[in-house]
Amino acid sequence: MAERQKSIFVTGAGSGIGRATAQLFAERGWFVGLFDIDPRGLEETAALLPEGQRISMLLDVRDRDGWARAVETFGQATNRRMNVLFNNAGVGKGGWLEEMTPEDIDLVLDVNLKGVINGAIAALPLLRETPGARIVNTASVAGIVGAPKLAVYVASKFGVRGLTEALDAEYSRFGVRVTSLMPWFVDTAILDNTGAAGSNRKLRDQLKDSKTPIYPVRMAAERAWDAAHGKETHYRVGKEAERAWFFARFMPTLVQKQVRRNLRDD
């Protein structure tokens, strides 16, 4: 890594928003650490970035010891600097709460929320040593408005939103900012694996049937760039996310009524 080159540590880098964000930051001259639980996905992402401008390593964000090893490896490659931790790894599991398996419930909470907490703790020493460092946590529009059949996923993303706000205050003691990314539906593989148990219909199919917009993953990456540089705390992706943010903030009762009406129409 070049002496003055900035660096970003990306979880969930093997696909989707993580991959697109890694590419965008690399295009803009950053050194990128690629971390994911999927070895093939990691290889595919690494092949898209210039050699000498990235490292890659397997990481399960539920594993605290794994986090310690990953951060140490990253620090060795970056002269102990981490300008941005992109806490992006996530999973999507849906369905009626009473029909979800305990394993799926634990997976969603352990990856989407506890994995973010693990990263914020493990990366803090490097972040403290890097002037102007920050954490960008991937939340979701599901952290703005609760939706039926996504109760656990919503809980995890509301948790990320609250964690972000709390840590932005806490970590200001160290000169570290904490922000979040709140995408609307983005064209990633997560849309293909959130169908209810026992159903062949995926979330992508439901969105297409209802003519709900699905945004390109590059748009989310651009907003991740904004989240790594801007002054706000939360960064929405897509017009629908902005609308949800507005209505949830200023007209919450209307939002709740619309959610119930949609549920009756299903």
Which residues are known catalytic residues? Answer: 153
Q: How many whole angstroms separate alpha carbon 153 and alpha carbon 62?
A: 16
Residues 73, 7, 127: CA angle, nearest 5 degrees? 75
Cβ contacts of 83 within 8 Å, gap of 6 or more: 6, 7, 8, 30, 130, 132, 133, 134, 228
Give me 142's structure tokens. 């599901």
Q: How many whole angstroms separate alpha carbon 117 and alpha carbon 152?
A: 17
| Cα dihedral 26, 189, 58, 101 sign | positive
Q: How many whole angstroms separate alpha carbon 86 and alpha carbon 95?
A: 28
The helices-and-strands tally (H runs, E runs) of the chain is: 10, 7
Burial class (CB within 10 angstroms; exposed 0-12, middle 13-18, buried 19+) of 218: middle
